[in-house]
Amino acid sequence: TRNMYEHFATLKELQKNDGGISWFEGGESNAYISAYILAGFGKMNREALPMPIERNSGLSSFLSRLIRYCDEEFIKNLKSENKETKLQYFYGRSYWIKQYPLPAAQFDLIDSLLNKYWQQQTATAAGLQSLMTIVTLRLLPQENILHAKALQHLESLRQSAIRDDINGIRWKSFADADDLSSNTEEGVVKTAEAFEEDNNDKETIPG
């Protein structure tokens, strides 16, 4: 527990006046790492893991300032072509929609960008496709056509999986890699998370 509060104290020192987080001490706020950290706290909260909420830790203020920064950066850099940073923002924000609602206009922008990204799906890396699936299923209503497209993508992934009783379920794009790099590992995790969003799938994650 002490280590958790020590690490959180370090993060608070990295939080700048605008609410964003820098990569290192003395650096400037960075949209990608800010959204990445926002997602980390969101995942901890969703899975009921221990959080630094005692000792007047300032977690609530830390998160509200971080969310405000991420929202403002999204609008500020709306015309940027950096798909990965935007998807990371969508992913981080998806954990906090109920506690910190987004205005309708911002949802419309997210819908528009996700529509664009799904049109480019075949040129998108596997890990980012899974990230697109997660945020689409979390952020958009079931009646949205992209919701159905995300479920179709999961079904396609299910059909393309290699299955056996010894090695379980796997995909060639991951299994054929010479080494499980951090990017590949992140892709595997995001693919698993994508299947967690499908309430009708009880077999893929255990596999």
Query: What is the per-residue burial (b if ≥16 Cβ within 10 Å, else e) of 50-83?
Result: eebeeeebebeebbebbbebbbebbeeeeeeeeb
The band of 71, judged by pLDDT with boundaries at 50, 70 and 90, is: very high
Give mean pLDDT, residues 84-113.
Answer: 93
Q: Tell me if 10 sits within 8 A of 56, measured CB to CB.
A: no
Q: What are phi and psi of 198, to 5 degrees?
A: -95, 100
Give mean pLDDT, residues 104-130.
Answer: 87
Question: Bridge-partner residues for 164, per DSSP?
Answer: 168
Structure token digits, residue 58: 């300032």
pLDDT at 177 over 70: no
Question: Bridge-partner residues for 52, per DSSP?
Answer: none
Query: What pLDDT, on a 0 to 100 scale, did the predictor assign at position 96?
Result: 96
Given CA atoms 11, 16, 20, 21 in this order, what sign does their dihedral have? negative
CA nearest neighbour of 87 among 118, 128, 119, 123 = 128
Give mean pLDDT, residues 167-187.
Answer: 72
The string of pLDDT tens digits covering residues 145-164 is: 999 999 999 999 888 888 88
The string of pLDDT tens digits covering residues 135-146 is: 999 999 999 999
- Express as a percent the part of the chain with pLDDT over 90: 55
d(CA 30, CA 48): 27
Written as one letter, the residue type at 126 is A
